[in-house]
Structure 1
């Protein structure tokens, strides 16, 4: 029996696929998205048609996509991994050549009724191709320099294209997402230590170059760093968003001001309240308890994904699940850290909660692959 014949023979059929779905994960994703609908209704002042209803429609489409992908055999995703990666790479090249420009950046491909952001697709394709690579690679070679170089190249190619858009935040997420798969695959910690040391050395060199003849950054870039470290140094300029966000976070207290009672959002002091700073609205209206409740839902999603990965005897499926769970973690961790002033302000949506169609559907597409890995795991 060939490998493909064996895989086909192991594929569950009919009603079993529905029974094998990771149903707790489905319910948790629905719960988090429902929080998003509630908050979008609130920031629109009780207007469901402005942001909440379109978000509900996109979630419905995304759930259909997730369920459909869950029934696709896991070996199919392994087979198309290289094609998916190359396709996303070509889309990134297309963005650099004739992509649509928005908010000073060239990140989208305009397809008429919708605009696609290929860098979001690449986050999933990157995990897919790296999981397939380490599934193919003999485990004794995982930490050998030559076999570590290839995944590094696979990561840095799209990173270079995304940096040209420019989009530093997504570039960092691509590097971190690829690093998570490499770590899960068993790459030696010495490589990660070397990368961390290089980053620390680079940051130190950049900071020491300030005011010298060999200054590595422009003056305005150093001013951005100053504003990140101390937002009050420019309260009406670059530090305004973070200062208003921190005010809203603090004013929520333990239990919040109440649903639709947040002053920072209702009086429009809070910028991008339906996208990047929606977590701040939640914290102001429902307080520390509401914010921690949402965080608990996110952690439970990660927990069910990791449990599925660690109990899966298929190496590709396990690495794919860990990679997508890691990407999901980066989404909400970066957003929360940003609105609290722990990271520089960059456009980073809160997954399944912030308003936006492309990010939600692509994220649910990734969870469809997680479900596929769970449904078709060896039993």
Structure 2
């Protein structure tokens, strides 16, 4: 951007990344317009309004100095854990889940934990002396930081968000330099605990989702219906798709949640393999920009935070695509900036706002 035409603070923003994110969200609104049968209501209009509010918020967050994120990481984490405990005690129940606090406005603390766990783990390893990284004391406090909110969120129940919190925290642990043997040991312990969690911690519907993932054809009209119809929609799109507003799976209501969790299937039916690949490429470029921000950072905290936030966005995209293609269980992770809803949109824009803050602090220009 020509710096002579705009004020210096605005010129320093990563406009290519911002415009790319705007392009992804605009395409998402086009898909929601089609999913509603060619109408801006009830999804596309409200999605667009919220998105531009979040863009403005992300740009404002970019002016928060890195030291403020560093100093506030653990206190903010503690506040969100308290809010998660309050959800368990007095939270509002909707649709069989207890995930919200009604405090004048409806608040879902688990969404804020996704970036907060990255900040908290990054701060922990920033405070840890370099010589301690190879000891067991480098992993068990981080395991507690991750495990406490993950268990609280799993109890709500919200398996998808709990997995996202674990994935974001584990990424920071891995990148911090913890010896591979300790990391692998923790992973093996998790693998051993997984069958116990499936049998004793998950609710019946969550357990059924895991089992139906292993054999979706065993109940094609019941628990496996979502996955089966999603595969049909994606496959029927072919290379170039059926054409805008020409999708049948979503328009004839064969595809459940075609505007939320399974919005990629709605898109792929009309835009085909080409449209799907271009959308995935756009997400890859955004994630790559975030990783480059981390590589250019000057402090350990900033490097770990940037990498963790970038991979948080990656996990959003990877889990959702795996879910709609039938190569992962249905865990309720939306496709950010495309699926209808404010939660994922808010979380991703919060991650991007913090990344832009770190980018602003970097001494050299990040190119991608």
Report the TM-score when normalising by structure 2. 0.92
Partner of 2:280: 295
SS of alignment partner, residue 266 of structure 1: coil
Mark the CA change 1:231 to 1:102 in structure 2 (over 3 Å): closer, same or farther: same
Quick one: which of 232, 241, 247 aligns to 2:226? 241
1:196-207 → structure 2 map (5 Å cutoff): 196-202=187-193
- In structure 1, the residue matched to 2:322 is 337
Q: Deviations over 1:7-41 (max 9, x none)?
A: xxxxxxx9443232222221121111111111111
Other-structure match for 2:213: 228
Query: In 2 relative to 1, CA 151–226 (structure 1 residues): closer, same or farther, beyond 3 Å?
Result: closer
In the aligned structure 1, how far is the partner of 2:211 from the partner of 2:153? 25
Alignment of 1:17 with 2:2, yes or no, is: no
The question of 1:187 aligning with 2:199 is answered no
- Check if 1:64 corresponds to 2:44: no
Secondary structure in 1 aligned to 2:41?
helix
Distance in 1 (alpha carbons) for counterparts of 2:283 and 2:179:
29
Deviations 1:214-236 (A, max 9, x none): x9999987655442222121111
Structure-2 residue corresponding to 1:130: 121
Equivalent in the alignment of 1:328: 313
- Pick from 74, 90, 94: which aligns with 2:86? 94
Q: Corresponding residue for 1:268?
A: 253
Size of the aligned set, in residue pairs, is 359
> 2:68 — aligned with what?
76
Aligned residues of 1:314 and 1:377 also touching (Cα < 8 A): no
Measured in 2, the distance between the counterparts of 1:146 and 1:180 equals 18
Q: Is the 8 A contact 1:42 1:259 kept in 2?
A: yes
Structure having the higher Rg: 1
1-structure distance, mates of 2:339, 2:205: 30
The structure with higher relative contact order (CA 8 Å, sep 6+) is 1
The answer for the alignment partner of 2:41 in structure 1 is 49
Tell me: CA distance 1:234–1:146, structure 2 relative to 1, closer, same or farther (3 Å).
same
Residues 74-104 of structure 1: per-residue CA shift (max 9 Å, x gap) = 1111111111101111110111111111221
Change in 2 beyond 3 A, CA 1:220/1:104? closer
Report SS of the residue matched to 1:274: coil
SS of 1:126's equivalent in the other structure is helix
Cα offsets for 1:45-100 (capped at 9, x unmatched): 11113111111110111011001011111111111111110111111011111111
> TM-score scaled to structure 1, two decimals?
0.89
Q: Report SS of the residue matched to 1:49.
A: coil
Q: Secondary structure at the match of 1:267?
A: coil
- How much has 1:327 moved relative to structure 2? 0.7
Give the distance between the partners of 1:203 and 1:106, measured in 2 at CA. 23
Q: Find the residue that maps to 1:287 and give its secondary structure.
A: helix
Structure 1 gaps of 5+ residues are 1-13, 210-214
Alpha-carbon distance in structure 1 between the residues aligned to 2:196 and 2:83: 35
